Every structure is written in structure tokens, then in C-alpha cells.
Amino acid sequence: MFKKSLMALLFFLINTALFSQTIISDNLQGGTKGRKYGGSFTSEGYKPGIGTNHILYKVPQQVYNGYIEVEVKGFNFNHFQKYFPNESTQTSFFIMYDGRGVNEPITYNPYYRNNFFRWEIVYRSVKKGSSSGNRFKGKMHTAAETPKRLNATKAWWKSLAHGTASDWSIEPNGIRVSWDPNRWYKIRVTWNNDTKDFKIYRDGKEVWHNKKNKGNSFSGESHAGHWFPAKSPYPWYPKDFRIWLGSGPRKYSSKLPNLVYRNFKVVKTSGNPDPDPDPDPDPDPDPDPDPDSEGDLVVTSPVAGQMLQAGSTHEIKWNPAGGSSVRLYFSSNGGSNWRTIVRRTANDGSYNWRVPSVTSNNCIIRIKNLSNSTNVRSGVFKIGNSSTPPPSGDLVVTSPTRGQVLQPRSNHEIKWNPAGGSSVRLYFSSNGGSSWRTIVRRTANDGSYRWRVPNATSNNCIIRIKDLRNNLSVRSERFRISNVSGSYLENNENVESVNAFEEKPTKFSLNQNYPNPFNPTTTITYAIPEAGYTELTVYNSLGQEVQKLVSGFKSQGTYNIQFNAENLSSGIYFYTLKSGNFVQTNKMLLLE
């Protein structure tokens, strides 16, 4: 027993040494490795006092997975009420952001308020009549991985009249804790971009999590009329990573006069940076745990059903369409969780991969085009070895099958291997997994469910089944829903049809809408000479997106879509078609 315990300890220490890197370590005893803006040093550490006094750290590299931590003392909750008796007040331990284009010290609006990678770590006081005080709190932004965001010289969005501009934003409440002003506490803030888990800990106890509100799992929230899922679709990954220790601008200034900081550090990790990691169940019952969209990229190896040997080398292959670089991921549980194989490699169509030592029937490779952020997946394959075959009891969808065509409004028996718990939840996607509808929230895990096929045709349909005992999700292969004579895709009140009997187009085109001017409906016709990911988007005269009419994989053909502008005000609008390298924008006029 002692020998095993010693080996386990050695393994932990070796892993810690190999897979973590301390980038900044500052004990704050009489001085700092950062830049001090006000405050003072005491015999115990750095004391910012009341206001925006802080220490600025410019982290010398990007940190994809990692954490920051510091020890604090002197937190007296009563000082909130003493100094600010009539309002809800929050004091910041840290603020973090992207410093591109920022003149320090950063000001609140718009440079921090609208920052691409804003994240404040605060504790809130009680506001009369509110239940959201006396607890940890954080607000986060992440930015889309587009060339516009990645290459920006100024890392903030333009201000909106109401709300905060962002690609993704979340602001859940954390939990309440008690404080002893004479005791030191360790605050750790962690981010794991592989799983999109962003957390705050106090002395090893989780006190805030982007996927929880007041300690309870939640699906997301709305800001300025936009719904944001709890799980970010983009990594929190500041390009010019900066940290304020001790306060933040304006309302995030320090409110506690006796708070002292010591032993600050920034650590880069290769995996989960949590102090006491445990598997986090999927908190969101409806959205896809990792939405993806079908682009021109196509994974050609491994193929569906293929068996790979654990520990062997396999050449991942794909059609190298799109940009110059891609990112590769691997899942052994049907896409519920992902590991990064390589963060950036040439988009040359192949990558030699060391197959991990796992056994599973639900393995998937995912490839992300770093130029346009589209994702494609391989079919579900297997990993095993000669002595340990893949488990036969995994949850596997057996019907509908790859490429199967179902008739709208028909009845189809969804089938699966009934492994796992006693109950499952079923979902349906008509756009390759970008969004999901719940078919049934709970049904017996008996291997079949009679399903009424919806009246919505698409070539990118998927069934997803979730085991409610262990939150494992698995997917069917892609299938089709189609009429014999043609196709009709319902998108709210906008209806699209394909001209099934016309000659196949040989070039891209986007026709002028008809009628134009119109009220309230008009028809837009476009042609796609080759299959590929296609978007048709309507914008207002300010360049703001009004509605995405088409978003998904389209086969070669000529399409008509009826746009219903019943809820829009009169004026000039623009519609843009993007497919492959083709982009065209036309103008239309809505009259009352």
C-alpha cells in the first residue's frame, strides 16, 4: 500500500512538473514584478485601499488553459455597508482583458466594458430587496475566432445604445461564503478552453462557474435581447493578456480598505487547471454540447465503423478546403467531450496521430478550419486492442442510418443499443448540429422510440440520444428528410424551395429579390454550382444582422426563399450570399 501511494505521489509530481508552467510569480513583499498604480506595500503584502489602485500585469504569452491565484486577507463584509450603505457594491479581486489598443490604465467604457475577453472576479454586497448580493460574481466575454477578431488592433466592440456588445457574454451569480478578516484565503481563477469551463475557487471550493447560477446548473441567459448559452462557443483566449490585481475601473473599484494581497501567480497548464477536478455533468439539457457546422472540409479517414488499434499511429485525412491552418480534436464519447490533438497544423489534408490508449465504440475526429471557424466531423469509429476489445455495451444509434431518406410527416422508429441507465432524452437537428429540438425529454432506454418526422426537409439531419444517468450523448450518422418531388425547408416564417426540375447551375448567382419594393414578403433566388456550406443573411442599413435565412450545407441547385419582413420597419435592407469563395450582396426596399 505504501509503495502504491508513493508511486501515485511521484506520478502526480511528475505530471505537475511536465504539464504546468508558472509564467508569473510575485510574492508582493515590499515590491512587485508588475506595475503599481497607487496603493501601498505593508509587512504582509500589497494593499490597494479604496478606489482604482491596482497592480497591472502584462502576461508575456497567451494562456490557452491555466489559472491565476492570489492570497487575500482583511476581507470584512461589514465595510460594504459602512462605506456604501444605499447601494449594491462589488469589489474586484481581479479583472482580466485583452490589451490590444489599450492605453493604461484601462477605462471602463468602451475599452473594458466592450472588451473581447473581459472577465472580472468580484464579490457583491447586499442590495435592499435583492437576492443576488453577498456572493461571488463574474462577467465574461469571448470573441469569435474570425480573422477580424484575431487580427484586430483594438480588442473591443463598438458600443451599443443598450447592453454590452459581444459575441458571447455570461454573467451568472456565484455562491455566498463567510469571511474572517483575520484569515488568509486563496482565490484561484481557472479556464479550460477544451471543455469551456471557467471557474472561481476559494480555498479549493468552487464558488463561481460559467455553467451555474447560484450553484445550480443553468442553460444560459439573455443580454440586450440576445440569448447566450452557458457554454461559450469560443475560447477565452486574450491575445494581449492583461490583469489588474486589487481593483477594476469605475464600478469595479476596490471597496474594502483593509484588503491585502500576497503570492500572486499565473500558471499555464496543458489540461484541467481546477484545484480539485471532477467531471462536470452537462448542465444544459437542450443545446448541443459542442455545436458544429458543416463546411467544405470533409474528413475522409478514419471512416465510420473503422477499428483503430490503441497506441498505433493513424493518418487522419481530410479534403483540405478553406484556409491555411486547421485544429484537430478527438472525442471518445460521441462528442460529449473533446481533447485537442493539435492546436494548429497545416491544412494539407493529413496528420499523423498517435491513437490514445482507450477502448470505445463512440470515437470521433473533429477538424476546425481556423480561417472561418467551421467544423466538420468524421463518422463514428472504434478504438481497441488485441487484448481489450471495445466495449459492446456503449450507447449507439442504429437508426436512422447514414444517408437514409425519411419522408416528412411520416413515422420512423428511432433505434439504439440500450446500454447505460434506465432513461434517455432524444433530440433532433436539421442543420448538422448547430441547433437542437427536444423530441422527448424522458423515455425508457429500451432501444426504440416511434417518432413523427417533422415537416422540414434537409440533407443534414441528426438524432442525438442522451443517457440521463451519466449525461453521455451519442449521435446518429447524418440522414435526409426529403419529399420525392422537391424540398421545403421551414425557417420560422421563411420558406425555401429547390427547383428540382431545372438544369443544374454552373456558376454562383444571387438574383434581385422579387417583388422589390415589397411588403411584407419577397422571394430571393440564388444558385449554387457545387455543394458546400452556404449562408444567406439579411442586414439593416447600419450593417447589423437582422435574420439568417440560410445556414447549412447545400447541394448543387437553384433555390428560392421567401423572406417575411412582417415584424420589420420600412427602409433599405441588404442580403448577402456566402458559399465557398463566393460572396455577393444585393439591396432591397421594404415599404409600409
Q: pLDDT of 517-537, one tens digit each? A: 888 888 898 888 887 778 888
- Give the domain CATH number at 567: 2.60.40.1930
Question: Which spans in 321-366 are helix H?
Answer: none
The predicted structure's pLDDT at residue 257: 92
The predicted structure's pLDDT at residue 530: 83
User: Left (φ > 0), alpha (ψ -120 to 50) or beta: where does 209 sit?
Assistant: beta
Tell me: do 312 and 363 sit in the same domain.
yes
- Considering only residues 488 and 246, tell me which one the structure prediction assigns the higher pLDDT: 246
**SS3 of residue 417 by DSSP:** strand
Tell me: do 303 and 424 sit in the same domain.
no
Q: Which residues touch 76 (CB under 8 Å, ≥6 apart)? A: 179, 181, 256, 258
How confident is residue 467, by pLDDT bands cut at 50, 70 and 90? Answer: confident
Model confidence at 93: pLDDT above 90: yes
Tell me: do 199 and 122 sit in the same domain.
yes
Count: domains in the chain: 4
Model confidence at 263: pLDDT above 90: yes
Mean pLDDT, range 328-340, rounded to an integer: 84
In a domain, 106, yes or no: no
The answer to whether 167 and 143 are in contact (CB under 8 A) is: yes
Q: Of the candidates 331, 353, 384, which is a domain's last residue?
A: 384
Tell me: do 132 and 48 sit in the same domain.
yes
Tell me: do 413 and 554 sit in the same domain.
no
In a domain, 426, yes or no: yes
Tell me: do 415 and 451 sit in the same domain.
yes
The predicted structure's pLDDT at residue 289: 35
| Rounded Cα–Cα distance for residues 296 and 349 (Å) | 13
Tell me: do 195 and 54 sit in the same domain.
yes
- Give the domain CATH number at 370: 2.60.40
Strands 307-309 and 381-384: parallel
Domain range for 192 is 18-101+114-144+178-217+234-274
In a domain, 129, yes or no: yes
Cell of 455: 415537416
In a domain, 207, yes or no: yes
Compute how many other C-beta atoms are within 10 angstroms of the C-beta atom of residue 180: 11
The predicted structure's pLDDT at residue 394: 61
Model confidence at 103: pLDDT above 80: yes
Q: Of the candidates 384, 415, 450, which is a domain's last residue?
A: 384
| Rounded Cα–Cα distance for residues 581 and 393 (Å) | 44
Tell me: do 203 and 335 sit in the same domain.
no
End-to-end CA distance of the chain: 81
Closest by CA position to 302, among listed 402, 386, 381: 381
CA distance to 88, 122, 132, 216, 404, per residue, from 129 (Å): 10, 20, 9, 22, 57
DSSP 8-state class, residue 250: G
Tell me: do 465 and 412 sit in the same domain.
yes
Closest by CA position to 57, among listed 21, 92, 114, 95: 95
| Rounded Cα–Cα distance for residues 371 and 322 (Å) | 7
How confident is residue 244, by pLDDT bands cut at 50, 70 and 90? Answer: very high
In a domain, 152, yes or no: no
| Rounded Cα–Cα distance for residues 214 and 221 (Å) | 13
Q: Which amino acid is at 276?
A: D
Q: What angle do CA 340, 342, 344 make, to 5 degrees?
A: 120
Closest by CA position to 465, among listed 442, 483, 493, 482: 442
Tell me: do 196 and 132 sit in the same domain.
yes
| Rounded Cα–Cα distance for residues 454 and 366 (Å) | 28
Residue with cell string 463598438: 158
